[in-house]
Chain A
Amino acid sequence: MEMNAKQHKYGMVIDLDKCTGCGACMVACMSENNVPFKKDESNKRDSITWMRVYKISNGKPYPDADVCYLPRPCMHCEGHDGHSPCVSVCPATATDYSRETGVVSQIYTRCFGCRYCMAACPYHARYFNWWDPVWPDGMEKTLSPNVSPRMRGVVEKCSFCFHRYQLAREKAIYEGRDEVAEDEYQTACAQACPAGAIVFGDLNNPDHQVTRIVEPDPHHHFTGHSKKAFRLLEQLGTNPKVYYTTERQWVRKILGQYNFGSQAAAHGA
């Protein structure tokens, strides 16, 4: 495969057997990225959560019931050579795929809110600001200057905390080196996870932990070589960069062939 030494492909592997469903990743992401919050967030269709933890169950009756939690950030799909579903449809060039990092960017000032990308994304990873975000008096001080707060009418989504990469590169340049080390660029969710279930790194770098776990196979559309790590909706050809591992067969089955309206009920967050 053409591997330009400096071409990164940032990705993630999530261990569904370690994920406890605590939601720390969700809160860390929202805190890091100036995600707004409303008084009533129980309608999950308009609740903006870049990282969302879904709950799936095996559909069996008591006492054989089992549940599994599934954290789902943006998949940063590569498609074929950078043609993510959302990037391909955006009429405003508000979203873009970078070959240098593998990250799908979302630029709020270009977006005019047609939501075509939301229709295109099969993972429901994109969220729309139906209303202007409102921060209670004083809480606007918690906003980080590294991420742009959004206005109503634009779509937002997980960015793999790209602002952290930008800051890490600045530090690297200041210290006279070009490369960003594995522990210098970690997403907020991977950093916060108390169970260590989320592992983030450069899938192009064989030394990074994520690559060691996933072993992406370039000859087979970057599926996990050992078949231990799988991706969601593989059959759609989105070539996503978030892999999952689990030893539970019922979870693999549901996620490998995800059917709407099947026995397994999926609840948002």
Chain B
Amino acid sequence: MKLDRRSFLSFVIGGAAGTAVTPLPWKLMDDVSIWSQMWPWTPVPPDGAYTYARSTCTLCPGGCGIAVRKVDQRVVKIEGLAGHPVNDGGICPLGLGGPQMLYSPTRVTGPLKRVGPRGEGKWAKISWNEALAEVADKLTQLRDDGHPEQLAIFSGAGQGTFSALLERFMTVYGSPNLVRPATFEDAYGMAVYRMHGQQAVVGFDLENANFVISFGSGVIEGWGSPVRMIRAKSLWKDRKVPLVQVEPRLSNTAAKADRWLPIRPGTEAALALGLAHVILAEGLYDRNFVEYYSNGFEAWRKMVLDGFAPDKVAEITGVSRDYIIVLARDFAKAGAGVAICGRGRGTTPGSLEEAMAVHALNALVGAINRKGGVWALPGNEGIRWPEVEIDETAANGLQRPRLDGAGSGDLVDAGSLPNRFFSAQAEGKADPVKALLVFEANPLFTQPGTETVKKALDRLDLLVSFSSLMDETAAYADLILPNHLYLERYDDVVAGTGLAAKVIGLTQPVVAPRCNTRHAGDVVLALAGAVGGPVADAFAWESFQACLEETLADDWDALSEAGYVVRKIQPAYWFEAFSTASGKFEFAGGYRPVPIEGDKGAFPLVLIPYDGMRIAAGPVANTPFMTKTVGDDVLKRQDVLVEVNPKTAGALGLGEGQAARLSTPRGQARVRIHLSEGIMPGLVAMPRGLGHTAYDDYLAGKGVNVNTLIGPVEDPASGLDAAWGIQAKLAKA
């Protein structure tokens, strides 16, 4: 028998024929096709039990209730809590991003100590004991040297128990330098203080208003409590409540408003006084309020009638004279009209006189403490903790003036002046602060005038960040003692900037902490204990949770179950609402607009920042999903597109999408042009929130941080930052 080619072939053919009647080829085909549909790198999310846990979102001051959907112990989705008084099931793009923050690769996974120069990004992992010891050493040293006021805290932590804990710490430690970011609420609050004679928290009963004038407020772009405002806008649409939006740019709010009133930026206060002029001249004001409950009306009235006739105001603002008259009449006759202010999200305080002009306008139509109007609400009752006993070191420290000058001299009404804090720290005459602790804030990114903030931080011996994610301030810090993310911790949230109600929400841990983090409250307690003496004695609680439970004792059960409690409030009646010398509402204020920086000759255009819901501009930055929603008319690859009117762009020879160089007295940057008919000629608009340098490739390096181009301009009347823009110029790149 010979094995030749034919035999071999016949063997093969026999094999093939036989194979065809075995399952082998058919099964293999079937199996391979299945195999090709299920590559091992395509994740198969593990299944499990589905549960919902309630909490309160802390990513912005809005205070929305959230329902967190979990599969076993994994957070997979965040939804708005149905029935919650602030958001009733609605939620914003940032709130939805919680899961992406919880599992973000930019989480600071444990205490870190800087190795190498600041900002280089080299870290050594250290233990909590080491980290606490280092901070405690510095804190003790400052007190031993007799200068506890050289410790400063910068905190964006809102009005809950944790904030109160920080205040208590600073008091017993002996430093007055507790600095908070300032917003339009500070300016409006100071206006209320001047005119009502009391410190108040301002609320707006917008759900019951029947005519709303917004002086540049981003009603649907994050002003106040964002979801609450968007819901209010829908309510106004259903009830046909007119919204008039006064701003130089066609924001989403302006597009949604019943009337967009383009105005020369910075002249909004003149318009408010112009409307007051018409209301005064035609006698449309609330006579009862003015005659029986106000003081200084005559002088103020004269000032308005003399200087703010519709013609004059039309000249100043660019708004038509006829429309000023029509608007004033409609506003006054509505019966429940209210005016709001605070540009965009309201994160820049704005000028005090502008707030006073708007508040006076509200007063004129009787909107103070009225249904649908502006309410001056008593501040926090003050948590009832045992009195602190301070020692001599602390007493001495507290007597020294704050670095930002708030609370003394001309600035006696101011609570916190962050712009002054950083400029004084950077190059002021007073001794700089030596140690700075940063909680729930990212000033190196969010404060206007980034260069000054950097200089300020450079003069510190010790910069400590408590951030959960590696943001710009944390990246520049000497030590990072990472806080639990909000989904991993207890906190109370006094909800809702601008709400005409008091809602307290409980932030509860929905998952166990993922990383080696600690509640910042526990860290503060530990530091107090380490400093010892009366500082330690002031904090009897063994943990922040114990402190919180004790503080919220009466409400704890309701909070744990429902997630929130609502305290109905009734604003004071006019006869008891004012604590001025006269006991009445004081009409006051004038028009001295705070000029923006820059020489018009060298910088002929004006750069204004704008806010939106898709780019977070505060201490919490965009999640990858949020950045994905940003349109290609705002962000193209790594370039931000600035809005320019075609006339302006055309005069400069710049076309759509073209690269350009944007310069201001503070800095310059490469941008691209987006031609927009929705912006006044001569202006350039740039979104806030881009230009991150920290975090990861999903966000860093995209666009420009507008705070590197715009700096604060101090309002001489309040000390607050009143800059609404800066002179700028555009040139081909």
Contact = CB atoms under 8 A, between A and B. Distances in A.
A contacts B directly (C-beta below 8 A): yes
B250 A65 contact: yes
A245 to B, nearest CB: 11
Contacts of A137: 105
Contact of A138 (B103, B628, B631, B633): B103
A28 B80 CA distance: 10
Interface in B102-137: 102-105, 107
A85 B237 CA distance: 36
A73 B80 CA distance: 21
Interface string A6-48: 0000000000011011111011101110100101111110010
A151 B39 contact: yes
B632 interface: yes
A267 B631 contact: yes
Interface string A102-114: 0000000100000
A118 to B, nearest CB: 20
B227 interface: yes
Contacts of B71: 144-145
B10 interface: no
A186 B546 CA distance: 39
A66 interface: yes
Given A62-B680, A67-B678, A140-B43, A30 B628 contact: yes
A205 interface: no
Contacts of B625: 26-27, 30-31, 37
Nearest to A197: B234
Nearest to B39: A151
Interface stretch (B45-53, B594-602, B723-731): B45-53
A39 B698 contact: yes
Assign chain A's interface to a size class.
35 or more
Contacts of B636: 42
A196 B227 CA distance: 11
A90 B37 CA distance: 18
A57 interface: yes
Given A24-B96, A31-B99, A66-B255, A37 B45 contact: no
B288 interface: no
Interface in B626-645: 626-633, 635-638, 645
Given A23-B629, A42-B636, A136-B105, A65 B76 contact: no
Contact of A17 (B44, B237, B631): B237
Interface in A88-127: 109
Contacts of B628: 26, 30, 37, 41, 47, 49
A252 interface: no
Contact of A149 (B44, B46, B624, B629): B44
Given A62-B681, A194-B227, A267-B632, A27 B93 contact: yes
Interface stretch (B83-91, B145-153, B191-199, B294-302): B83-91
A20 B245 CA distance: 14
A109 B631 contact: no
Contact of B78 (A23, A31, A109, A194): A31
A196 B234 contact: yes
Interface in A60-83: 60-69
Contact of A145 (B45, B97, B105): B45
A144 B255 contact: no
B90 A192 contact: yes
A34 B77 CA distance: 10
B231 interface: yes
Nearest to A49: B628
B77 A141 contact: no
Interface residues of B, number: 76
Interface in A177-233: 188, 191-197
A192 B79 contact: yes
Which applies to chain A's interface (DSSP): helix, strand, loop or mixed? loop
A68 to B, nearest CB: 7
A87 interface: no
B441 interface: no
A54 to B, nearest CB: 9
A28 B625 CA distance: 9
A133 B39 CA distance: 12
A53 B493 CA distance: 32
Given A22-B93, A23-B93, A194-B87, A139 B104 contact: yes
Interface in B609-655: 613-614, 624-633, 635-638, 645
B104 A23 contact: no
Contacts of B629: 23, 26-27, 49, 53, 269
A141 B624 contact: no
A130 interface: no
A57 B646 CA distance: 15
B96 A27 contact: yes
A65 B104 contact: no
Contacts of B262: 62-63
Nearest to A140: B43
B43 A142 contact: no
A24 B637 contact: no
B431 interface: no
Contacts of B100: 31, 139, 142
Nearest to B76: A144
Contact of A20 (B89, B105, B613, B626): B613
- Pick from A30, A32, A66, A145 the residue with the most CB of B within 10 Å: A145
A179 B697 CA distance: 47
Contacts of B46: 145
Contact of A67 (B89, B255, B626): B255
Nearest to B48: A145
A23 B614 contact: yes
A169 interface: no
A27 B97 contact: yes
A26 B698 CA distance: 17
B605 interface: no
B502 interface: no
Nearest to A196: B234
A268 interface: yes
A61 B99 CA distance: 42
Contact of A31 (B77, B89, B237): B77
B42 interface: yes
Contacts of A136: 104-105, 696, 698
A55 B76 CA distance: 29
Given A31-B78, A62-B262, A138-B103, A41 B231 contact: no
A143 interface: yes
- Pick from A17, A137, A143 the residue with the most CB of B within 10 Å: A143
Q: Which 10 A-B pairs have the closest CB atoms?
A: A194-B90, A22-B613, A143-B45, A65-B677, A23-B629, A20-B220, A145-B47, A142-B99, A194-B230, A138-B103
10 contacts: A24-B613, A28-B91, A57-B678, A63-B262, A66-B260, A109-B37, A141-B76, A141-B99, A149-B43, A192-B91
Given A65-B677, A142-B100, A167-B50, 7 more contacts: A20-B220, A28-B91, A31-B76, A62-B678, A132-B42, A194-B87, A269-B630
Interface of B: 37-39, 41-48, 50, 71, 74-80, 87, 89-93, 96-97, 99-100, 102-105, 107, 220-221, 226-227, 230-231, 233-234, 237, 250, 252, 255-256, 260, 262, 613-614, 624-633, 635-638, 645, 676-681, 696-698
